[in-house]
Structure 1
Amino acid sequence: MTTWLFDLGNTRLKCAPLEPDGSVGEVRAIAHDDADGWLDALPAGAVACIASVAAPERRVALLDALCARFQRLHRVHTETALGPLRIAYAEPAHLGVDRFLAMLGLCGSTPALVVGVGTALTIDLLDGAGRHRGGRIAPSPQLMREALHARAVQLPLAGGDYAEFADDTHHALASGCDGAALALVERSLHVAQALLGATPLLHLHGGGAAALRSRLPAHTWAPDAVLQGLARWHALRIA
């Protein structure tokens, strides 16, 4: 029985088959826009597990399309506790399912700081027992650029290279927006170490993370963290 995992974000859909050993298979990334053509690229199978943080109309469009391609659909929601993970939020619905699944997929016996860079920059701290100690949400560097450009169109939307002290507006924007994200991650690592008495492993995921990687401390690169979380959710809830 073929099972597929679907991670619907704000700019693209990522999907992958679930392998017989419970691992994530080859990942496909499908950009979505106002047209419906992206739905034509969807796979078919028996079971679909879906996580979505996209707008309701895009989520409904995906679910409608999958209904015609799969026998069973499972839409995943944030839970207070699952497997080793215990979230800090009193209201599970207030924690994005992408953050929940990324933590579930990366949760282990070692403290971890899980950083996602997409439309937003998200940071979540896990202790060695799987307890979520809370997190942060901020605009991603790209969203910072877009917000500045929207309020001051003379500021370029893209371009520039990172420098500690830039000598051009393009470079200063790249340096300031990337630097804000780097500083937040570094601050979080510092406070996490003081809180837990140990330096957590840094896990990085998300489409906007590549530009930050070379300037961050040692970390693991987990581009498909949400899909890994979906695979673990399936093992705990369905298998």
Structure 2
Amino acid sequence: MSAWLFDLGNSRLKCAPLCEGGVGDIVAIDHDGNAFAAGWEELLPGRCDSASIACVAAPPLAVQLLEVLARRCSRISMARTQAAFDGVRIAYAQPQRLGVDRFLALLAARARSLEATLVVGVGTALTLDLLDADGRHRGGRIAPSPALMRMALHARAPQLPAAGGRWREFADDTADALASGCEGAALGLVAGSLEAAASLLGVRPRLLLHGGGADALLPRLDAAVHAPALVLEGLARWAHADR
């Protein structure tokens, strides 16, 4: 039986075969929020018995993906946030209001270790979720990611570049100042959340980073673990239970 995983985020579609050990080789496909990159259908599996999908993107993109998969897959399942699943209990009184990507990342974090963990996703948004050693989600935070901060500044002040620059403690040009300021804001939120988590739990949690913008923050976060496929790992847990 061939089974595939699909993580449709706000800037990319990532897909991979579901293996007994978890996630197989990952294919990443860009999109602009309305349409996928040219030739995207050729990168998807030609046929599969089942497809498990996690989607936080706009409905038109989800429809495009579902239309293609409906012609190629015998069974399609959409992952949904649940109050309790696979050893994880969600803090939200209305679990469906927690993004499915955050839910799946928590499942993957729990499967990796029973330690308390701060899960940080760096994509269009910067998301932080705290999971204690008992598998209880203690809640989280959401902020703009550094990339979104840059885009927002550029939209309001076009003379400010939307990309470029490098980290400096005190920058001497605009591009570096923007990169340092936006990345610094994210780093400050992560550092503050780690301290608040340590105070709440009595132990400093381990730190897992995932998402397309994680690479820029990793060098300045001591002991952070890069887990780029964390959402797909959680989707694999969900899919195995759904079979």
Give the TM-score taking structure 2 as reference length. Answer: 0.95
Cα displacement string for residues 180-201 of structure 1 (whole angstroms, at most 9, x for unaligned residues): 0000000000000000000101
Cα displacement string for residues 12-40 of structure 1 (whole angstroms, at most 9, x for unaligned residues): 11011011x24111111111243564233
Q: Provide the identity percentage.
A: 60
Q: Following superposition of structure 1 onto structure 2, how do residues 29-178 of structure 1 map, counting pairs within 5 Å?
A: 29-33=28-32, 34=35, 37-43=39-45, 44-107=47-110, 108-178=113-183
Q: Which AA in structure 1 matches 2:132?
A: D
C-alpha separation in 1, matches of 2:2 and 2:71: 15
Is the Cα contact below 8 Å between 1:32 and 1:38 reproduced in 2? Answer: no
Q: Which AA in structure 2 matches 1:86?
A: R
- What are structure 2's unaligned runs of at least 5 residues? none
C-alpha separation in 2, matches of 1:176 and 1:58: 32
- What are structure 1's unaligned runs of at least 5 residues? none
Give the TM-score taking structure 1 as reference length. Answer: 0.96
Q: Following superposition of structure 1 onto structure 2, how do residues 17-32 of structure 1 map, counting pairs within 5 Å?
A: 17-19=17-19, 21-32=20-31
C-alpha separation in 1, matches of 2:7 and 2:121: 14
Residues 1:6 and 2:6 are matched in the alignment: yes
C-alpha separation in 2, matches of 1:63 and 1:81: 27
| Aligned match for 1:191, one of 184, 187, 196 | 196
Is the Cα contact below 8 Å between 1:84 and 1:130 reproduced in 2? Answer: yes
Q: RMSD between aligned alpha carbons?
A: 1.1
Is the Cα contact below 8 Å between 1:22 and 1:235 reproduced in 2? Answer: no
C-alpha separation in 2, matches of 1:179 and 1:88: 28
Question: Helix, strand or coil: the match of 1:223?
Answer: coil
Q: Residue 15 of structure 1 aligns with which residue? A: 15
Q: Which AA in structure 1 matches 2:123?
A: G
Which deviates more from structure 2 when the two are superposed, residues 216-225 or residues 177-186? 216-225
Is the Cα contact below 8 Å between 2:165 and 2:179 reproduced in 1? Answer: yes
C-alpha separation in 1, matches of 2:74 and 2:21: 20
Q: Following superposition of structure 1 onto structure 2, how do residues 221-236 of structure 1 map, counting pairs within 5 Å?
A: 221-236=226-241
C-alpha separation in 2, matches of 1:22 and 1:45: 18
Q: Aligned residues, how many?
A: 237
Q: Which AA in structure 2 matches 1:73?
A: I
Q: Which AA in structure 1 matches 2:81?
A: T
